Amino acid sequence: MIRRAVASDSGFLRDMLVEAANGGAEPPRSRVAVLDDPSIGRYLAQWPRPGDIGLVAVDRDDTPVGACWARLFPADAPGSGFVASGVPELTLGVNSQWRALGVGRTLLQSLHGAVRAGGYSRVSLSVRRTNVARRLYVSEGYTVVSSSATTDVMVRVLV
């Protein structure tokens, strides 16, 4: 089941942020190193802020198994997936025991609906080219708008 993410989900979202930050990274960084990195921590700082849109996937016992959320960053302090003011950046993570079961795709599709309902026409993200998540994004209609040595910034138009 998918439900809205609330303030008390911040601990689980932090777990998923660590997974997302390490997606495709070799070697992965420690949890402490990731969360101490301000360029990563800002994707969840003061969760939830006005304008944040988040979803959590839960199992039959209501235990969170995955999360996807979108947050806006300003042009003078852009996130790693920034493309323009007013285009929220997406973060996605699924608990390792629940992967390859369709949870990530369901969360992503649901978040598209929630972001569109929030009045946004695009959503963006950054992904390492070595990350299997990139295949998911391509199959869900994301296109590459810029690239660095290791990373692509991708955008999905929400119609």
| Block residue for tokens 């369709």 | 102
In the sheet where 64-71 sits, what is the strand order? 2-4, 53-58, 64-71, 89-94, 122-128, 151-157, 143-147
SS3 54: strand
Under the binding rule (CB under 6 A), the answer on residue 124 touching ligand COA is no
Under the binding rule (CB under 6 A), the answer on residue 52 touching ligand COA is no
- Closer residue to ligand COA in complex, CB, 44/125: 125
- Closer residue to ligand COA in complex, CB, 7/100: 100
Under the binding rule (CB under 6 A), the answer on residue 53 touching ligand COA is no
SS3 5: coil
Under the binding rule (CB under 6 A), the answer on residue 1 touching ligand COA is no
- Using CA atoms, how far apart are residues 27 and 152, in angstroms rounded to an integer? 19
Q: Is 108 exposed, middle or buried (0-12, 13-18, 19+ CB in 10 A)?
A: buried
Q: With contact defined as beta carbons under 8 Å apart, do 112 and 123 qualify?
A: yes
Among residues 15, 23, 28, 118, the one that binds ligand COA under rule CB under 6 A: 23
Q: For 9, which DSSP code?
A: G
Among residues 13, 17, 19, 79, the one that binds ligand COA under rule CB under 6 A: 19
Under the binding rule (CB under 6 A), the answer on residue 57 touching ligand COA is no
- Closer residue to ligand COA in complex, CB, 47/80: 80
* Shortest distance (Å) from residue 139 CB to ligand COA: 6
Q: Which residues bind ligand COA (CB under 6 A)?
A: 19-20, 23, 92-94, 99-105, 125, 127, 131-133, 135-136, 139
